[in-house]
Structure 1
Amino acid sequence: MKILQRLRLQFLGALFLLIVLSGCFGEGHESSPESAEHSDEQQTLDLPERTSETGWLAEQKRKWNVGEPFTFDWYINLPNWKFKGKWTDYPILKDVTEITGALPSIQYPKGNVSDNMNLMIASGSLPDMITFQMNDPTVDRLIRRGLLYSYDELIDKYAPEFRDEIPDDVYQFSKSEVDNKLYGLPSFFISQWRFDHKNEIGVLAYHVRKDIYEELGSPNMSTPEGFIAALRAFKQKYPTLEGKPSIPLAAGENGWSLEMLEESFGIKPLFIDAVGNAHIKYKDPQFLSFIKFANQLYREGLLDPEYMLKQQPQFEEDLATKVFAVPLHYFGFGNANERLEARNPGAKFIAIEPLKAAPHVEFPSLNRLGWTFTAITKNAKDPEAMIKFARYMWNPEGNLLVNYGHERENYVIVDDTIERTIGTESEGIWTFRFFYHEWIPLKEKIKDIRNPVVNTYAADWTAYYSKINPPVTSPEGVIQTQIMSIITSEYPKIIVAETESKALEMYQTMMDMMKEAGLEQLEQYYDARYKKNIEQFFGN
């Protein structure tokens, strides 16, 4: 969301991409009484045994082959997607073709994603299948123009068994608001039971370098006073690290982590007033307290002075050499921990209790709606074959092959969880995960610093994010673009103001500028969408 989420939406919108690259549900996921109660279908899968290559493939072909071999165009409408090889470059995906008879011709955007899509729509040259980023407004646009098949129509006509293979909550939250039909399937959808039990839904935490934190006496950094005191103590004891000026508090790529600081003051993407109306977050009364705090950090030299300029490579270099603390997603450290521990065992980042400057503090969880959404267009040359291919990719047998490889060769199932053994993306494993569904939980030994505190403060913020953006060309969309420009220009100046009074004065100037740009009209749009989301996702 350009205003409400700023850099945060880039993270949450592509969050699952980052999560899955690190191992979707983290280290040490075990079955528990709570998870078993809500995951019967995960524990009763009857997967075929791969006794031999020939026998296994023959059995799978009998079950899943769609008929005559066919090719189709599959457009991946994602910017910067890194797997751009041909389908036939990957052995695992060749197995998918052998089983189903389907050979996708993978296409990717060239240049601007929106321009490419607009050109295809205008010229009537849509491909057979498209994978969108979740909440891409293009989906509703195509539905209204009658350019997509509903899965309902194709399932009823060609694959009636498929309907019972789509969990009810996936269907409920993925169907279109346009006509209440299902036009595609999500990847990495999160079921309600995970939210109910706070089971591996968190990704954000405050982190400190363990060795230095312990040398400082493991101070309590959960209060504003304790937080600042610990940063001051670090700065005094370690003015330099690795021969470089140290950084008491880093702020991620392009200052992204400052949003976690905001959330530590109880600030959410929208400010909900006493009667339940939604406003831009900068109207939250707590925002003034946050400004004072962040400005103090900057003026005392506790916040990275170049926080708005750091790109990911430089940020990861800082983590590996001269940073003490950072609010960050648990998998965002690159190889910094490995580099630190190679020089000094125990010198790695760990998660601690977050800064809590408000009575109730929470951070956004994984996106419950998932990461991507894959649809079948009316240009599909063989819609029957397309829906049967989609069924295979969604079904546990196809899902496990595409995402984990071959059982007993690339993974094993132990205690109703998946444990990877060997397999790489060069084989095709995990590369086209656009139908991923968690049929069986993943138990993964990954090199992160995740611990229960990451889940403790995680909350479902779907109501704040889902389709909250107005269409870009709408009156509200034009206003949003103008207001985003104001924030981009003025907000950083507030944080680095020379005095607290100057920071507060600049904040008021920014608010006045947004009001003049039409903020009230934009907030009416946010309020209506937020209330609709509350009703849709939470039923009240």
Structure 2
Amino acid sequence: MKKNLFLLGLIGMTLLVGCGSDDSSSTELTAPEYAVSADIPGWTFNNEPTELDWYVNFSWFTTPWGEDMTSQKITEETGVTVNFVVPAGNEAEKLNTMIASDTLPDIITLGWWEGQIPEIIDAEMVYALDELAQMYDPYFFEVTNDSRVGWYTSADGHLYQYPNSSYTPEDYEMYDNIAANPIFAVRKDMYEALGSPDMSTPEGFLDALSAAQEMFPEVNGQPLIPFGANGFSSVGNTSLDVWLQDFLAIPFEKDGKLYDRTTDPEYIIWLKTLNQAWRDGLIANDVFIDGRPQMEEKQAQGRYFSMLYQRTDFAAQQQILFANDPDTVYLAIDGPKNSAGDDHVLPGVGIQGWTVTLISKNCEEPDRAIQFLSYMMSEHGQKLIKLGIEGEMYDVVDGEHITKPEVTELLMSDRVSYDRKYGAEDTFWMLQDLPMQLQWSAPTQEPLAQLEEWAYPYTVFASQYGGLTAPIGSEEEKIALKVGTLWGETLPALIRAADEATFDQIFADFVAERDALGFDQLVALQQEIVDTNKAKLGLK
């Protein structure tokens, strides 16, 4: 969809929008007192001091607005001071409570997969961004990406949400330095001491874990953990289901139809390999009980020999290890492969992005909210979000953007302090445009560069297979919840099975019960979603 066609499609649209869910009347958006233009950013007309509440649905985000140089600069230019609202505990409980009480803050950022998004759109609790932009800031359409707008436009023709960290198929064609996040990592000094063994086969994997445990039984007086993975949840473990299947290059579809990756023979081989590792004492109990905070502590101590994990999720811990002893950092190496030794196929961030941002109808200044989004999404805003303030945090030398040494030093040594002092490098990531930022990005430095660069040749675009979530309240959603819970119970039982015969019985029972729950009905819906996704993306 081209921008001019999108704008033409907006002409004649009603500007009447529903109020919050507790008020069935309609309110008319008040026209601004200034003339808006697609060529001039709205925030330049309207930058008197104001405050916007911004809900971020991630309890771990704790960086305040206004302490650092970058957010101070943004407030100086736009007049907007942000008050972040972050759940103290369970994100879903906080979000559901705000929805039920119709107290959603002005701006809302959620993971794109959250089921509450269609709920609040259907309940008319959020504004159509295109209507706000048409009235208050047509410049918004100049800073959006056509493919992202097309992907996120709802069936009613309106755009209610816009993503961050989104990559389009065109981005994958243009750039060769897009890296998937999951990696198989090993501790450098230990791995090299073992002779840098091949761990891509079940035999090599088990032998390396055993050798590491024998040679390095303790790390600073604490037991070595031979293999680490993401935390277990009620619906499984992303390291040991989705990511492991990706490493094994198990296809998403065959002959145009979704493929049952969970029952693939190659995946079963590796589940049995993990079961053997458990029976050999090579998988610690910690793997089944630790959450991210516990893993971060052990990563910073270098207690894992190997991990199937996301590289960005232990970047801070990698930097701690590097500062203490560069030989103790983690390296990315080829991990589990299928019997044919095929290359890994690792989906990178796709068009869905990571999060989406919406504007609540509780917002008393929707004009300022849409203008603020436009600012953050613009090239000017993205340069601030990525680099910070020119002359104070970076300089432009022969066309290159060079971060000042003291800024880089703090970034690499103490990310928390960097965020509080400087606030760039996507400290405020809610609307980050990573493809746009590539034009200013310096090459990633060690100890993070090797982890990233390893993934380049394996990274693929696979957004057509994302977002296969059944609508809330549908029969398929009920089936999905039951199947997910069943898998969440089955996966740890498979890994801890007493022997292979027990493993086989547990798996057979899972498949039978899964199918009895209506799995085929769920897959039929997911196939429809995939077909729709392909049509949106122009894929066959």
TM-score bracket, shorter-length normalisation:
0.7 to 0.9
Partner residue in 1 for 2:384? 401
Partner residue in 2 for 1:44? none
Q: Deviations over 1:114-156 (max 9, x none)?
A: 4544554455544433222223333333333444332322333
Q: Deviations over 1:186-232 (max 9, x none)?
A: 22222434422442322222222222222222222233333333333
The 3 A distance-change label for structure 1 pair 302 and 129 is closer
Q: Hey, what's the Cα distance between the residues in 2 that align with 1:302 and 1:115?
A: 37
Partner residue in 2 for 1:437? 433
Q: Hey, what's the Cα distance between the residues in 1 that align with 2:364 and 2:376?
A: 19
Partner residue in 1 for 2:157? 180
The 3 A distance-change label for structure 1 pair 432 and 353 is closer
The 3 A distance-change label for structure 1 pair 353 and 137 is same
Q: How many matched pairs?
A: 474
TM-score (norm 1): 0.77
The 3 A distance-change label for structure 1 pair 508 and 419 is farther
Aligned identity (percent) is 26
Deviation at 1:507, TM superposition (A): 0.6
Equivalent positions of 1:18-33 (< 5 A) are none
Q: Hey, what's the Cα distance between the residues in 2 that align with 1:246 and 1:84?
A: 33
Q: Hey, what's the Cα distance between the residues in 2 that align with 1:407 and 1:489?
A: 52
3-state SS of paired residue (1:258): helix
The 3 A distance-change label for structure 1 pair 329 and 478 is same
The 3 A distance-change label for structure 1 pair 379 and 239 is closer
1:189 has 2:166 as partner: yes
Q: Hey, what's the Cα distance between the residues in 1 that align with 2:297 and 2:68?
A: 33
Aligned amino acid, residue 112 of structure 2: M
Question: Which residue of 157, 165, 177 corresponds with 2:135?
Answer: 157
Contact 2:245 2:261 in 1 (8 A): no
Q: Hey, what's the Cα distance between the residues in 2 that align with 1:452 and 1:408?
A: 30
For structure 1, the 5+ residue unaligned runs are 1-60
Contact 2:228 2:304 in 1 (8 A): yes
Partner residue in 1 for 2:11? none
3-state SS of paired residue (1:308): helix
Partner residue in 2 for 1:455? 456
Contact 1:291 1:503 in 2 (8 A): no
Q: Deviations over 1:96-128 (max 9, x none)?
A: 333223344443446654454455445554443
Question: Which residue of 283, 286, 302 corresponds with 1:303?
Answer: 283
CA root-mean-square deviation: 3.2
1:356 has 2:356 as partner: no
Question: Which residue of 46, 52, 62 corresponds with 1:83?
Answer: 62
3-state SS of paired residue (2:160): coil
For structure 2, the 5+ residue unaligned runs are 1-39, 411-417
Q: Deviations over 1:3-23 (max 9, x none)?
A: xxxxxxxxxxxxxxxxxxxxx
Residue range with higher mean Cα deviation, 113-122 or 400-409 = 113-122
Aligned amino acid, residue 330 of structure 2: F
Q: Hey, what's the Cα distance between the residues in 2 that align with 1:172 and 1:62?
A: 22
The 3 A distance-change label for structure 1 pair 304 and 256 is farther
Deviation at 1:473, TM superposition (A): 2.8
1:248 has 2:226 as partner: yes
Equivalent positions of 1:207-226 (< 5 A) are 207-226=185-204
Q: Hey, what's the Cα distance between the residues in 2 that align with 1:317 and 1:121?
A: 35
Partner residue in 1 for 2:474? 474
Q: Deviations over 1:162-190 (max 9, x none)?
A: 323323233233x3232233223322222
Partner residue in 1 for 2:8? none
Deviation at 1:407, TM superposition (A): 0.8
Q: Deviations over 1:39-80 (max 9, x none)?
A: xxxxxxxxxxxxxxxxxxxxxx99943337253543314130
Partner residue in 1 for 2:48? 69
Q: Hey, what's the Cα distance between the residues in 2 that align with 1:212 and 1:144?
A: 54
TM-score (norm 2): 0.77
Residue range with higher mean Cα deviation, 231-240 or 455-464 = 231-240
The 3 A distance-change label for structure 1 pair 350 and 110 is closer
Partner residue in 1 for 2:269? 289
Q: Hey, what's the Cα distance between the residues in 1 that align with 2:161 and 2:220?
A: 51
Partner residue in 1 for 2:16? none
3-state SS of paired residue (1:452): helix
Aligned amino acid, residue 239 of structure 2: S
Partner residue in 2 for 1:167? 145
3-state SS of paired residue (1:140): helix
Partner residue in 2 for 1:426? 420
Q: Deviations over 1:325-354 (max 9, x none)?
A: 222222344565456566755232211223
Partner residue in 2 for 1:24? none
Contact 1:279 1:523 in 2 (8 A): no
Q: Hey, what's the Cα distance between the residues in 2 that align with 1:341 and 1:242?
A: 16
Equivalent positions of 1:22-171 (< 5 A) are 64-67=43-46, 69=48, 71-83=50-62, 85=64, 87-109=65-87, 112-171=90-149
